[in-house]
Amino acid sequence: MFLIECPWCGMRDETEFSCFGEAHIARPLETEKLSDEEWADYLFMRKNPKGAHREQWLHAAGCRRYFNAERDTVSYQISATYKIGEKPPGGSRK
Amino acid sequence: MSKYSIFSLLRNAISYHENWASAWRSPEPKKEYDVLIVGGGGHGLATAYYLAKEHGITNVAVLEKGWIGGGNTGRNTTIVRSNYLWDESAHLYEKSMQLWEGLSQDLNYNVMFSQRGVYNLGHNLQDMRDIQRRVNANRLNGIDGQVVMPEEIKRAIPEINIDQGCRYPILGASFQPRGGVARHDAVAWGFARGADMRGVDIIQNCEVTAIKQKNGAVTGVETTRGTINAKKIGVVVAGHCSVLAEMAGFRMPIESHPLQALVSEPIKPVINTVIMSNAVHGYISQSDKGDLVIGAGIDSYNGYGQRGSFPTIEHTVAAIVEMFPIFKRVRMNRQWGGIVDTTPDACPIIGNTPINGLYFNCGWGTGGFKATPGSGWVFAHNVATGEPHELNRAFALDRFVSGFLIDEHGAAGVAH
Ligand SMILES: Cc1cc2nc3c(=O)[nH]c(=O)nc-3n(C[C@H](O)[C@H](O)[C@H](O)COP(=O)(O)OP(=O)(O)OC[C@H]3O[C@@H](n4cnc5c(N)ncnc54)[C@H](O)[C@@H]3O)c2cc1C
Ligand SMILES: [Zn+2]
C-alpha cells in the first residue's frame, strides 16, 4: 500500500486520496483561435509515460486540497509531492 | 503441421503423448517482411492470422517482447459479450461474437468458447433504465438480450443475494444468452498456430525499441534482436501504445492503468454463468477447474507495473461477498494485474496514424478480450488495404479531433 505525503497534512494512507491524472496541463489562451487539432491535443492527448510522471492528486478524505506528485509509473514510488503553483522539485522536464 | 483430430490423439497416445510437434516454429527473424505486427497478444496474433487467411499476406512477423499471450490476453477474466449500446460498437463486437461462434473449428484448436450467458446487474432505477435502453438498442441491432427481474435471476443463480435491504440491492439485469467465456491462453495459442501454419513468423523475446521512418513513411523497426524492415507495421501493444506512439513521434489520447483479477481455491460447481456489476465493480464466473474468477476495477492512477493496489481488491471482494454471501469464507489463491489502455470514450482506436504504413490497434482498455477475433479481422483488412473496414472506420484516431466520440462509458459500463 502507498503512503502519500500531502503537502498540508503529511503522510497518509493512499485510500484517502484520488488521482486526477497528468499535471501541468495549461489551458490554452485565446481559445477562439485554436484549431481542432490544438483542442484535441489539450483535451484528450496525454503523455502517459512509462517511468517518471507528474500528476495531480486530491486529498479527498482529508483536507480536500489538490496537490501535485512526481511518481514513477513502473515502481509506483513517489519521489516528491508539492503544492499547486510550486515548481516541480526535479526541475523542468519536457 | 498436422491437423488435430481424434486420430492424431490416438496416434500420439501410442507414444504416451511425448512426440507432439510444437504448435508453432521459433524462427530467427528475417531482415525484411511485408508486414510487421508489434505485440503478440491475442489481437496481434489474430491480425497476423487473418492477414494470412483472408488477404493472402503471409510474409509477416509478429514481434513480442516477452512471450505470446503474456500481456492482458493471459491476464483477463475472459468475459465475452456483444451487447454494447451504440451502433458502431455493437456492430464491431457482434462481428467478433460471430467469429467466436466458429472459432474452434476455424482454428482447429479448442478455444473452449462457452456460451453460458452474461448478466449485467442493475442496482438502482437509473441502472435499470440504462439496461432497458441498451437491451432495446441491442435487439434493434439483431443482438440477443433480455431484461430480467430479481426472481428470475435468483432462479438461474440460486446462490445470489436478492435481498432488497442491502446497500446495493439487485433490481434486475440485462442477460445476453450468447455471451460467455473462452480460454484466454488457447485463444493466443490457437491464433499463433494458425498464423504459423500459413507462414507467419512468431518471434518472441523481441522488443521493439524504435520505429524507423523516412519521408513520413515507416521503413522498419529496431528491436532487441536487430533491425527488421517492413513498409507496413501494425502496432497492437495494449498498455504500451503510448510508448510506441512516442517512438513514432505522435501523441495518443490514452492512459495506462493497472487492472486486477483474482482466483479462489477450486470449489464444486456453483456458478454456471457470468455475473457482472458495473456499479460495485465486481464480476465473477467459475472456471472449469472450479476456481471463482473475479475481476476488479482499475486503479485510478497510471501504472505500467502489472500489479494493482490492495484497496481495489478489498473493494471488489466486498462487492462479491454482498452479492454472494456464501463466498465469505472462500480463500483466494492468486491475484495479478495487467496494464489496460483506457481512452476518453471507452472505445478502441483502430486504424491509420499520421505516419504512412503505420497502423495502430489499441485502446481496448478493460474490455478487449471479447473483441480479439473481430479486432484482428478488421485490423487485418486495414493493414492489408491501407483503408479502414466499414466496421472500424468510426474508431479512427482522428475522432478525437472531429469530436465524433463513441461514448460507451455509461451503457457498456466501466468494465469488460
Ligand atoms: C485483469 C483484467 C481483466 C480483464 N477482463 C476482461 C474481460 O473479462 N473481458 C474482456 O473482453 N476483456 C477483459 N480485459 C481486457 C483484455 O484483456 C484486453 O483488452 C485484451 O486482452 C487486449 O489484447 P491485446 O492483444 O491488445 O493486448 P496484450 O495481450 O496485452 O498484448 C500486447 C502485447 O504487446 C507486447 N508489447 C508491448 N510493448 C512491446 C514492444 N515494445 N515490443 C514488442 N512487444 C511489445 C506485450 O508484451 C503484450 O504481449 C481484462 C484485462 C485485465 C488486465
Ligand atoms: Zn491533506
pLDDT digits (tens, 9 = 90+) for A34-82: 999 999 999 999 999 999 999 999 999 999 999 999 999 999 999 999 9
Contacts A73 to B, Cβ<8 Å: 256, 301-305
Q: Give distance in angstroms: CA of A66 to centre of ligand 2.
A: 8
In sequence order, which residues have a C-beta less than 8 Å from that of residue B13 and are 6 or more positions away?
none
Answer whether residue A88 shows pLDDT above 80: yes
- In chain B, what percentage of residues exceed pLDDT 90? 95
Chain B: give the shortest CA distance to residue A36, in Å: 6
Residue B15, classified by CB atoms within 10 Å of its CB into exposed (0-12), middle (13-18) or buried (19+), is exposed
> What SS3 state is found at B108?
coil
| Structural contact between residues B113 and B80, judged by C-beta atoms closer than 8 angstroms | yes
Answer whether residue B23 shows pLDDT above 80: yes
Chain A: give the shortest CA distance to residue B320, in Å: 20
Chain B: give the shortest CA distance to residue A48, in Å: 5
Q: What share of chain A is helix, strand, coil (3-state, %, to 5)?
A: 15, 35, 50
- List the residue whose alpha carbon is closest to atom 37 of ligand 1: B237
CA B116 to chain centre: 18
Give the total residue count for chain B.
416
CA B278 to chain centre: 18
Q: Which ligand ends up closest to the CA of B241?
A: 1
- Cα separation values, B300 from A40, A57, B82, B223, B296, Å: 22, 10, 26, 32, 12
**Mean model confidence pLDDT for chain B:** 96
| Structural contact between residues A50 and B254, judged by C-beta atoms closer than 8 angstroms | no
Name the one residue in this structure whose C-alpha cell is 477450486. Answer: B266
Q: Could you read off the pLDDT of B115-138 as tens digits, one per residue?
A: 999 999 999 999 999 999 999 999
Which triple of cell numbers denotes residue B226?
536487430
Is residue B366 in contact with ligand 1, taking CB distance under 6 Å?
yes
Is residue B343 in contact with ligand 1, taking CB distance under 6 Å?
no
Which triple of cell numbers denotes residue B129?
433504465
From edge to edge, which strands make up the β-sheet containing B358-362?
B201-203, B60-63, B35-38, B232-235, B358-362, B349-352
pLDDT category at A2 given cuts 50, 70, 90 is confident
- Using CA atoms, how far apart are residues B69 and B36, in angstroms rounded to an integer? 17
Answer whether residue B412 shows pLDDT above 60: no
Answer whether residue B307 shows pLDDT above 70: yes
| Structural contact between residues B342 and B416, judged by C-beta atoms closer than 8 angstroms | no
Which of B253, B256, B304 is closest, CB to CB, to A45?
A: B253
Q: What is the pLDDT of residue B290?
A: 97
CB contact (8 A) between residue B251 and residue A45: yes
HSE (side-chain half, CA atoms, 13 Å) at B82: 28
Which triple of cell numbers denotes residue B2?
498436422
Torsion of CA B376, B342, A80, A76, to 10 degrees: -50
Give the mean model confidence (pLDDT) for residues B191-213: 98
- Asked if B310 has any chain A CB less than 8 Å from its own CB, the reply is yes
Q: Give distance in angstroms: CA of A5 to centre of ligand 1.
A: 33
- Using CA atoms, how far apart are residues B82 and B93, in angstroms rounded to an integer? 5
pLDDT category at B280 given cuts 50, 70, 90 is confident
- Using CA atoms, how far apart are residues B300 and B148, in angstroms rounded to an integer? 32
- Using CA atoms, how far apart are residues B323 and B346, in angstroms rounded to an integer? 26
Give the mean model confidence (pLDDT) for residues B189-202: 98
- At B240, the amino acid letter reads H
Strand locations in B196-299 (E):
201-203, 208-214, 217-223, 226-229, 232-235, 255-264, 274-277, 282-286, 292-298
Which triple of cell numbers denotes residue B372?
480479439
Which of A14, A41, A73 is closest, CB to CB, to B311?
A: A14
Q: Which residue of B has its CA nearest to A35?
A: B401
Answer whether residue B398 shows pLDDT above 80: yes
Atom of ligand 1 nearest to the CA of B362: 26
pLDDT category at B348 given cuts 50, 70, 90 is very high
- Asked if A59 has any chain B CB less than 8 Å from its own CB, the reply is no
Answer whether residue B240 shows pLDDT above 50: yes
Name the one residue in this structure whose C-alpha cell is 469530436. Answer: B403
Is residue B370 in contact with ligand 1, taking CB distance under 6 Å?
yes
- Using CA atoms, how far apart are residues B136 and B145, in angstroms rounded to an integer? 8
- Using CA atoms, how far apart are residues B416 and B413, in angstroms rounded to an integer? 8
- Using CA atoms, how far apart are residues B42 and B70, in angstroms rounded to an integer? 10
**What is the best residue among B184, B275, B350, B369 to mutate for testing ligand 1's pocket, by most ligand atoms within 8 Å of CB?**
B369
Domains and CATH numbers, chain A: 1-23+49-87 (3.30.2270.10)
Contacts B313 to A, Cβ<8 Å: none
- Using CA atoms, how far apart are residues B38 and B64, in angstroms rounded to an integer? 6
- Using CA atoms, how far apart are residues B160 and B176, in angstroms rounded to an integer? 18
Q: Which residue of B has its CA nearest to A37?
A: B401
Atom of ligand 1 nearest to the CA of B370: 11
Contacts A50 to B, Cβ<8 Å: 240, 242-243, 256, 304
HSE (side-chain half, CA atoms, 13 Å) at B229: 4
Is residue B367 in contact with ligand 1, taking CB distance under 6 Å?
yes
Is residue B103 in contact with ligand 1, taking CB distance under 6 Å?
no
Answer whether residue B409 shows pLDDT above 90: no
Which phi and psi angles does B210 have, rounded to 5°?
-155, 150
Q: Which residue of A has its CA nearest to B345?
A: A44
Give the mean model confidence (pLDDT) for residues B202-228: 98
Answer whether residue B5 shows pLDDT above 60: yes
What pTM does this model have? 0.97
- In chain B, what percentage of residues exceed pLDDT 70? 98
Which triple of cell numbers denotes residue B152?
428470475
- Cα separation values, B82 from A53, B18, B74, Å: 36, 40, 21
CB contact (8 A) between residue B311 and residue A1: yes
Which triple of cell numbers denotes residue B191?
491464433
- Using CA atoms, how far apart are residues B227 and B206, in angstroms rounded to an integer? 11
> What SS3 state is found at A70?
strand
